[in-house]
Amino acid sequence: MKNLALLLSLLILIACDQQKSSGRLPFLGNTIYEENDTIYHTIQDFQLVDQDSSIVTNETFANQVYVADFFFTSCPTICPKMKAQMLRVYEKFEDNDQVAILSHTIDPTYDTVALLKDYADRLGVRSDKWKFVTGDQDYIYDLAEQSYISLADEDGDAPGGFVHSGAFLLVDKDRRIRGFYDGTVPEQVDVLLYDIDKLLNEYQAESDK
């Protein structure tokens, strides 16, 4: 877990450096360079359930970029800060159908579908824009570590009994991670908001060719 946390910090620093030196957002994660091809790290196939009891898969976000995070509703530490900052993403892009938000609970035993529905309703957000998803706990933890290069685990010594990253992850239309941001820091979320526009402009430029 310590190694993963260090990797997350390193990826955020790399992303910041690459954004300064390039006109495009970086591709983060394990990239494989072959003789005639470059294979980027991508989000694996997944199937989860959202606050409306609907199945959520990669295809749910077809032709969309999305921001992903990991949380739990009873979190007494960073989650309230994260949700306040994610609301900024929601409010800016609420009417843009190319942008979505995906929040994974890391405490699926407590965070039932009904509880996630109530949580989303109290935030005042639409389920077609911001999905709160649940599933098998080990499955979600594996998805966090292997796909999102993020941290999610049980920890009896941690407040609330769980430990997780406060990262927001920007995923493009091809399942590739294009940015890591500290979701508890408003200035980092300012960068995220800017980068979402930048990523959408990349796609617009490609479609205009």
DSSP labels, 126-148: -TTTEEEEB--HHHHHHIIIIIS
Percent of the chain with pLDDT over 70: 84
CATH code assigned to 2-208: 3.40.30.10
pLDDT digits (tens, 9 = 90+) for 19-53: 444 578 999 998 888 778 889 999 999 999 999 99
Q: What is the pTM of this model?
A: 0.87
HSE toward the beta carbon, residue 184, CA cutoff 13 A: 10
What does the mean pLDDT of the chain come to?
88
- The predicted-structure confidence for 131-152, as pLDDT tens digits, reads as follows 999 999 999 999 999 999 998 7
165 in helix, strand or coil? coil
pLDDT given for residue 76 in this prediction: 84
* Domains in the chain: boundaries: 2-208
pLDDT category at 3 given cuts 50, 70, 90 is very low
Inform me whether the pLDDT recorded for 119 exceeds 90: yes
DSSP label at residue 186: H
Whole-angstrom CA distances from 178 to 8, 32, 50, 80, 132 are 13, 16, 24, 24, 21
Compute the distance between CA of residue 36 and CA of residue 144 in angstroms, rounded to an integer.
Answer: 30
Cα–Cα distance, 64 to 171 (Å, whole number): 9
Residue 21 is predicted with a pLDDT of: 42
- What was the pLDDT predicted at 117? 98
Which region, left, alpha or beta, applies to residue 149 given φ > 0 means left and ψ of -120 to 50 means alpha?
left
